[in-house]
Amino acid sequence: MNLSPDPFIQIRRDLHQIPEGGFKEVKTQTYLLRYLATLPQERIEVKTWRTGILVRVHGTAPTRCLAYRADMDGLPIAEETDYSFTSQHPGYMHACGHDMHMAISLGILTYFTHHPIADDLLFIFQPAEEGPGGAEPMLASKEWQTWKPDLIFALHIAPELPVGSIATCPGTFFANTSELFIDLVGTSGHAARPHQANDMVIASSQLALQLQSIISRNVDPQEAAVLTIGKMEAGTKQNIIAGSARLEGTIRALQMDTMKRVKSRIRELVSGIELAYQCEATIDWGSNYCQVYNDEHLTRSFMEWAQASQLVHVVHSPPAMTGEDFGYFVREIPGFMFWLGVDTPYGLHHAKLQPDEDAIGIAIHLMTSYLTSLGE
């Protein structure tokens, strides 16, 4: 069988045009199911879970099941590329490479429907990676429990790495992450009578400044953590004192104990703002992702194998503050994730992200070879 990467480049382009939000990947699921129906059916079984898909490829003499996961959702970003196949969904874009991830997964899956190995393979198309988080509820589903694998693998595109290279590391690879939403409620009033109001612009500004002291003064300098307030909203007009305010941000930490310490300190500072500014405050932690912890033995073995294969150049990657809900999979099942070089000047979540599509064929070849080596 000729497994040219060209059809999977076209698949990537098709998927790029239909980005959808978390648990809304209806067109994406339909597209994937239609493609799966074109494959030889003798060895595959398909289950759907919400807008996700699980595909089992039966081996010739299975003693275990090896899994490969790809995420499906897009981002609420207005595309600014010069592609001829830009997003057909206004305000949404595959700006994190999930279109690439799905195309690669289909390429690997297609290969093994024609070249089965001894072990069973499970291909996971997981919705809602960008939010609200699809991995954790998928792991609790009866579909997953029926086909729970023994090992699991995944990749993520890396704009800064050249095509033909991959990067990973044993142990902590991606950080624990948490969203952060803080609402402050005081009393609105006329700008000419500030003493009769309770100004949440002042309260929220003070809180934003105080929150920045947590990383610099409450976290061990040798423990990596980030706290960013990316959005603040307060008030309705220039001559009305704001009676409410909202801060939105993100927390990232390589260690779970550090995450707990940061959250505890946030609660203390918010309580202090309530007392000092006589307001009411609520905290919503939003979506939380646990760290991606690469199995140390498996990852070292993979890096050695990949380097020896000469299929790619292998780079040792430091842990990243990136969040990825693949962490829930490797918390339950031994496995790893790696970066795939796609060589583009625009970073992840950028409206002009244009990954080099040559990486698709490289990744398909790499993972079909690696899984074959494991399943022999």
Give me the domains of the chain, ranges plus CATH numbers: 6-174+291-375 (3.40.630.10), 176-288 (3.30.70.360)
C-alpha span between 195 and 261 (Å, rounded): 37
- Residue holding tokens 């993520």? 156
Sheet of strand 151-158, all strands in order from the earlier edge strand to the far edge: 44-49, 52-57, 120-126, 65-71, 151-158, 335-341, 165-168, 313-316
Alpha-carbon dihedral of residues 212, 215, 221, 223, nearest 10 degrees?
A: -150
**CA-closest candidate to residue 253, choices 310, 322, 315, 196:** 322
DSSP, collapsed to helix, strand or coil, labels residue 301 as helix
Task: State the average pLDDT over residues 15-40.
Answer: 98
- Cα separation, 334 vs 299, whole angstroms: 10
**pLDDT score of 261 more than 90:** yes
* Residues known to be catalytic: 71, 130
- pLDDT tens figures, 147-203: 999 999 999 999 999 999 999 999 999 999 999 999 999 999 999 999 999 999 999
Residue 280 gets which letter from DSSP?
E
Burial 214-248 (b: 16+ CB within 10 A, else e): bbeebbeeeebbbbebeebebbeeeeebbbbbbbb
Per-residue pLDDT for 6 more than 90? no
> Mean pLDDT score of the chain, rounded to an integer?
96
**Integer Cα distance of 290 and 331 in angstroms:** 8
* pLDDT tens digit sequence for 298-322: 999 999 999 999 999 999 999 999 9
- Is the pLDDT reported for residue 1 higher than 50? no
Give the side-chain half-sphere CA count within 13 A for 111. Answer: 23
